Amino acid sequence: MPEILRPTNPVPGYDNAGARNQPINPQDPNTHIQNVVDPTRVTRGDQRSDQQQAGDPSVSHRMRYESNFLTFLQRLANAPDTASAFLRLLQGQGLQVSSGITPGLAAELQGFLEMLQMDEAQLAQFLQGQIQSGLRFGGALFQALRNAYNSSGSEMFKNEILQFLRQYSDYSSTDHLEGRMLRTLYDMTRSLPSHWSNQLTDIAAKMENGIAAGDRQGNLDLLRNQVFPLISDYVRRTHDHGMARSLLSLLTLDMVRYENGGEQDLIQSFRHLGNYNIFKGDLSQLSDENILRLLNDTEFAKATRADGFAERFVQMAQKAMQGEGGTAAQEIFRNLMNAILLNESVYMPLQHLFLPFQWEDKAVFSEMWVDPDAEHSEGREEPAPRLLIKMDIEGLGAFDLLIETQGGRTSLQVSCPQRVAAFSGDVSRDLSEILQRNGLSPGDVRVSAMRKPMTISDAFPKLFQEVKSGVDVKV
C-alpha cells in the first residue's frame, strides 16, 4: 500500500522501518536539520491572518475571524434589504407567469397577497398574533417559573426548571421537528444510489404515516432501527462521507429533540415541579389530559395554530427556492430567508417581527425589534422598554421610529423622507395626540429627515455590549 502521507513516491530500496529505528545523532555531519518555515511569516492564500493582534491599533478595526459574534455583526451589516425585497413581492415585480413563475406558485402568491389586505382592526389583530406566536414562554404559567427561578438559591431546583422548559420547547416544536425530519429523509433519498434510495423511500413513507397517526414512539423506533442502520451500512460499504452522512447528523439532532419532547416525560417533569409550591393552588390533582390541555392552551400555542401567515409564506418560499418562480422569485425569497434567519440567530437578543400588509392601494413593509427583557438604565430598577420600527411605504419611502418609555413618559424619535420632514411640526403634534389618546404621556417627540437608516446596534447598544463581553470563540 503506498504511503499516502508522503508528498512523493518512495525511493526504491529505501527502508522506512529501518529509518525510523535509527536515532538521530546531532553530532553526525550528515545530519543537517533546518527549519525552512518562518512561522511569523505564514499567511493564507487570501492574505488573511487568523491571529488576533490585540496590541496593534492598525488592525483593531479589522474583523476578528475567531469571533462568532463579530461574524454575526458583519453579516448583520451586510444583510440584504428586506424591505426592498418584500415590496417587490407585494407589488409582484418580476413575478408574472410570463417570467417563469408556475401557475401553482402564482396561485399561492395571489392568496398570500389577498391575506395581507387589511383594515385597521385586522392589522391590530395580525400584529398581536405575530407577537404572541413569537413568545413561547409567555403567560402566567411561565411567569411563575421565571419568578421561582430568579428567587431560588438552589442550583438543583433551577436545573429542574430549565429541564422542564427544554422539554416543553421540544414538545411545542413537534410539528416542526416531524416536518423537518421527513424532509431530511426525502433529501437523503436524492443523494443515494437507487438500491439504498428505494429502501429509504419506503421507510420515509412509513414515517409519514406514523406522523399522521401521532405515533411518536413508532417514529423513533423507525429512525433507530431502520434509518440509522441503513445509512451506516451505506457509508461503511461505499465510504461516502458526503451528503447522506451530513444529513444523518442533522437528523440525529432533530431526533434527540423529538424524543426529549415526549408527552409522558413532559408530564412527569411538570408534576415534579409541583412539589416545590411554585404555582398557586394544588396541581397534583390534575390528570395527564388536563396537564397537556394546560400546556397546549397558552397564548403562544393558540397563536401558532392560528398563524396562517407563516405557513403560507413558508410554502411560497419552498416552491420559489425549488425553481418554480424563476430567478426573480428565487432572488427575492433567498434575501428574505437570509434576513429572517439572521434575525433569529442565537446572538440576536431581540424579538424580531416583520409585518407586510396592503393598506388601501399601498404596499407597506414594516419590521419591528423589541427588547423582551426591558433593559435597565444605568443600574436603576426602573425598566426602560425600547422599540425600533422600520417601515417602507410604496411611493413614499422609508421611516425609522425609535420608541422609548421611561419615567412614565414615552419619547419618539422619527426619521422620515424629506417630503414628510417638511411637515415635521404637524407630524410631531399628531404623534403626541396619538400617545395621549392611548393613555400615554408624551415625552420628547422629534421628527427629522433621514440622513441614514438607523442600525440595530445604534438603537440597542447595551444589549450588544453585554453579549460581546462573554466568552466568544469560533471553532
Q: Which residue has the cell 409541583?
A: 274
Nearest partner of 222 among 259, 264, 180, judged by Cα: 259
pLDDT band at 464 (very low <50, low <70, confident <90, very high): low
Residue 102 burial by Cβ neighbours in a 10 Å radius (0-12, 13-18, 19+): middle
Nearest partner of 135 among 291, 350, 308, judged by Cα: 350
Reading the block at residue 154, the C-alpha cell is 438552589
Q: How far apart are CA 222 and CA 105, in angstroms?
A: 34
Q: How far apart are CA 340 and CA 82, in angstroms?
A: 9
**pLDDT tens, residue by residue, 234-263:** 888 888 878 888 898 999 999 999 999 999
**3-class SS at 152?**
coil
Reading the block at residue 172, the C-alpha cell is 411545542
pLDDT band at 384 (very low <50, low <70, confident <90, very high): low
Helix (H) or strand (E) holding 345: none
Within 134-215, residue ranges assigned H as helices are: 140-151, 155-172, 174-189, 194-213
Reading the block at residue 430, the C-alpha cell is 399628531
Global confidence as pTM: 0.64
pLDDT of 281 above 80: no
Q: What is the signed CA dihedral for 342, 349, 127, 114, rounded to 10 degrees?
A: 0
**pLDDT tens, residue by residue, 316-360:** 887 788 777 677 778 888 888 888 888 777 777 788 888 888 777
Cross-strand pairs, 354: 367
Q: How far apart are CA 351 and CA 369, in angstroms?
A: 6
Q: What is the mean pLDDT of the chain?
A: 77
What is the per-residue pLDDT for 59? 42
pLDDT band at 104 (very low <50, low <70, confident <90, very high): low
pLDDT of 115 above 90: no
Q: How far apart are CA 402 and CA 387, in angstroms?
A: 6
What is the per-residue pLDDT for 431? 92
Within 60-118, residue ranges assigned H as helices are: 68-77, 82-91, 103-115
